[in-house]
Amino acid sequence: MWYLSLLAVSALALVQSFAFGLVLPSDEAQIRRSKRSVNAQTQQEIASVMKCNTTIVGPSDPGWANATERYMQNIRPQVQLSVRPSCEQDVARIVRYANRHNIAFYAVSRGHSLTTDAARFAGIEIDMRNLNRIRVNPNKRTAEFQGGVYGYEAINNLWDKGLVTATGTCSCVSLIGPALGGGHGLQQGKHGLTSDHIVNLNVVLADGSAIRVNEKTNPDLWWAFRGAGHNFGIVTSFESKVWPDNFKRYFVRTYQYLGNSHDAVFEAVNRFQGNGTLDPSWLASFGLYAMNTTLSTTEATLYWVFLYDGPKTDAAVAALKPFDQLHPLSIDDIDIPYTEINTPIGGALNSSLCEPNKSHIVGTANLQVYNVTAQRAIYDLYNQNIRQHPELGGTRVLVEGYAVRGVKSFKSEDSAYPLRDDNILTYFDVRFDTASDPLIPFAQKWRNQTVDLWNAGQPTRPPTTYVNYAAGYESLEGRYGVEAWRLKRLRQLKRKYDSKNRFAWYNPIVPV
């Protein structure tokens, strides 16, 4: 779930796309057209072509604030009309209507959107929240999910049937949204990314046609949707693999340390994770810098969480003995059901990570191993900045070390997801209550310094970014792959399936 400037990235992408013959409309022109077109008449006309019980909400309607609520207050698309279909067929009808009237459209499948690209949008929001059906197939090997299903809805629904599937670790995002960018999660050590286990996709393309996408039908889009799918269409539903779980409990151990243990903890974690060779019975190993003023008012607490695929009685607890010896301030053990699996890592539905209408300054970089010197510099910078501005004590610096054996079991060239050699995700987040806080420039500088330190700690590797964590200013190569053939293939498919760049509002491969 991070440095060229956004201007440089956009300019480079436009030059490259022109070289491949892809002519795109200007975003300002789309915005001007949509402002002239979206009005009360638009609302009536859309209602007349819908076949199901579709809800249409305009700026003067009572449900407007709810319909247009956003995670990122500082990055807000200019929604002029929100259309909430209750059947998949109406998604295609909305797209066809928008195309006929030159109105931009933007599908929202629930939850976070961190990228600055969303702020460029103006037009019709397609709100997928009513498309939330889940159906387990009779063989109990796959299940069908509509495009608006939350991650926590999938977890809870399947748990009742003794099943699990690949989801993200944040309960308030959709199931399909992260999957379109690959989809990291706690099942990946055994099974791979969320996108690796999709069997079929039902998709609405830029021209409003509804098609089926799988390994044999539209195989070129099948490749593209699994890693860069938000550039190519709206997934109204999909079928994905599920696995038996047998209602077991999951062991979670949490440590708290102060700075005198910092370096030794990261060295021990490097040995534990083994540069991508962690036994997948250990689902993940997460670290977090955060202020706990009951422990210290001058330095961040280092939290470390280990999650095991089974109860404590089955866990290889001896593997954690090195961490017991590093002078932790506390050690907490719990066994929990899978329905609560996101809580100890901060991704519960009621967590601060899921709270809407805040402003966030975010940054990220992917790693293979932790550079202990770089991590110490990041920790010292954190403490220095908090001493200068204690009001920023809610800042989170998170590192996510999932087991990756399942991810590496799939061939990198078989899907658009490009980063199977990256073992660790990082995430920097300063949260503000408003978009006009005077400390935002300070937070942006802090973000830049932190991301630079992560990347400087691996000087032989090009900077890479998990696209679902990307904020919009990272290089296209960092998001979609440093191999030249990857971007070339993605641009060729873009020219074929979306030559007008209708899907350009979430980390686009061809920025408008």
CB neighbours of residue 434 within 10 Å: 12
Q: How many whole angstroms separate alpha carbon 173 and alpha carbon 150?
A: 6
* Residue 130 φ/ψ, nearest 5 degrees: -80, -10
pLDDT of residue 40: 85
Cα dihedral: 334, 337, 343, 349 (round 10): -160
Pair 283, 306: CB distance under 8 Å: no
Beta strand extents in 113-233 (DSSP E only): 122-127, 134-136, 142-146, 163-164, 198-204, 210-213
Q: Which residues pair with 189 in a beta bridge?
A: none
* Block residue for tokens 């989801």: 167
**With 0-12 CB in 10 A as exposed, 13-18 as middle and 19+ as buried, what is 321?**
exposed
Contacts of 216 (CB under 8 A, 6+ apart): none
Residue 273 — left, alpha, or beta (φ > 0 → left; ψ -120 to 50 → alpha)? alpha
* Spatial separation of the C-alpha atoms in residues 86 and 120, rounded to whole Å: 27
Distances (CA, A) of 423 to 211, 408, 475: 34, 10, 20
Instruction: To the nearest 10°, report the CA torsion of 442, 443, 446, 450.
Output: -170
Paired with 286 in beta bridges are 305, 400
Sign of the C-alpha dihedral, residues 60, 66, 72, 73? Answer: positive
Residue closest to 486 by CA, chosen among 423, 419, 436, 438: 419
Q: What residue has token string 């608006």?
A: 148
**Beta-bridge partners for 308:** 251, 282
Residue 146, φ and ψ in degrees, nearest 5: -80, 165
Q: Would you state the torsion angle of the CA atoms of residues 447, 452, 458, 463, taken in this order, to the nearest 10 degrees?
A: 80
CB 167 within 8 A of CB 175: yes
What are the CA-CA distances from residue 462 to residues 350, 370, 374 (Å)? 36, 15, 16
> How far is 282 from 309, CA to CA, in rounded Å?
6
Which residues face 396 on adjacent strands?
429
CA distances from 244 to 94, 269, 451 (A): 38, 30, 39
- Taking the mean position of all CA atoms in its chain, how far away is CA 184? 8
Contact assessment for residue 400 and residue 184, using Cβ atoms and an 8 Å cutoff:
yes
- Dump pLDDT digits (tens) for 129-185: 999 999 999 999 999 999 999 999 999 999 999 999 999 999 899 999 999 999 999
Contacts of 431 (CB under 8 A, 6+ apart): 352, 358, 359, 360, 394, 395, 396
Low-confidence ranges of the chain (pLDDT < 70): 1-37
As a whole number of angstroms, the distance between CA 468 and CA 228 comes to 10
pLDDT number for residue 353:
85
